[in-house]
Every structure is written in C-alpha cells, then in structure tokens.
Amino acid sequence: MNRPDHPTDASLAVAARQGDDAAFAAIMRRHKGWLYQFIRRYVADRDEAYDVLQETFVSAWSALARFDTARPMEAWLRRIALNKCRDRARRNTVRRTALRIFGFGAEANASAPAPDSATAADQALSRLEAAIQKLPQGLRESLLMTALEGLSHKEAGDLLGVNAKAVETRVYRAKKQLALMLDRGDLSDIAEKSE
C-alpha cells in the first residue's frame, strides 16, 4: 500500500511524463545515492562519476516516455548508467590512444596526481580498484554487479544480455585474473578493511 506522501516510481514517472518537473526531481532524489555508488564502481574518478550520474539522469529524462511503469525503475536506471559508463570508457580509450600516438602519453601521466597513500589499507584498496579497472569489460561488469552490487547471476545476466551461467563463468575468470594481478597481502588487507 502506498501512502500519498510516498508515491511509487511508476506514479512519479507518469507525472513527470505529463510535465511535472517535481516528480522527476523526486525520482532523482530517491535514486541518486545508490546510482552514484553503482557508477563509482565503474568510473575510477569521483568527479567523473558525478558527471556520468548527471548524464544518466539527462538520458533518463529524455527516454522517460519509453519507461515501462510495470518494471522496476532501478533496473532501468542501472541499464542507462551502465551504457553511460561504457561510453565514457570508450571515449577515454580513444583519448589515451590519441595522446600516445601524438607523443603526449608521458606528459599526460606525469601531470596526474599521485593516489592518496595515507594507510596500507587505502593503498591496497587503490591497487584492487586499479586491478579491477584492468579487467576486460565483460569480466569487470559481471564481477561488479554480483560481488559489489549484490545482483544474482540471473539479474546481472539480464542487464548484460547474457545468461546466468555466462555471468558465473565471467565472475570466476575475473576473480582468477585478479588473483594473478594482486599478491595475497593486498587481498588480505582488503578483507580486513571490509570486516
């Protein structure tokens, strides 16, 4: 049962389609926290993650007429955000390649700020995040959706357009590759920090 002061996502979407800007603002307030965390796992930079969050909501606003109110808003927003993360990754790859081709790779890397190294746990977490970013896209997405987002293999598969067994295999391969990239000390530091 929905109280009038807590409308459903579906009713907010219908109101927003009819021109109620406050309804879409309510959707954004309701979903921005978890959606930012979702994006942040795919985008290494915090400011860049906020940019992707904004792009996601702009796209959601533009596509609101196509939102199926019988389906969960979370899944729809997650799909849009995932596509925006993929777009950003492709653009960054093109930029890095162009910089390298034109001889600006060393200068671009030299001007990048060093990661915060306040504690060993922070350093280990930074190394883990960097290793996750190096995984192939399919492995990285499957791992992040299941291990960090808490989605089932089937839910992740639905978002990625593959079956649950494919997600399970990708997660296994991702963990195996991470184990090869990181030594056991890094992994135990992460485990201790998360407990």
- By C-alpha distance, which of 108, 96, 89 is closest to 42? 89
The domains of the chain are located at 1-113, 116-195
Q: What is the pLDDT of residues 60-110, one digit of tens each?
A: 999 999 999 999 999 999 999 999 998 888 777 666 655 555 454 444 444
> What kind of architecture, by CATH, is found in domain 1-113?
Orthogonal Bundle (1.10)
Residues of the chain with pLDDT under 50: 1, 102, 104-118, 184-195
Does the pTM exceed 0.75?
A: no
**CA–CA gap between residue 175 and residue 192 (Å, rounded):** 18
Residue 142 near residue 148, CB atoms below 8 Å: no
Tell me whether domains 1-113 and 116-195 share a fold. Answer: no
Give the CA distances from residue 134 to residues 45, 67, 77, 96, 130, in Å, rounded to whole numbers and listed in that order. 15, 33, 25, 14, 6
Q: What pLDDT does residue 76 have? A: 95
Task: Write the DSSP assignment of 60-123 as a string of letters.
Answer: HHHTGGG--TTS-HHHHHHHHHHHHHHHHHHHHHHHHHHHHHTT-HHHHHHTSPPPP-SSHHHH
Fold of 116-195: Arc Repressor Mutant, subunit A (1.10.10)
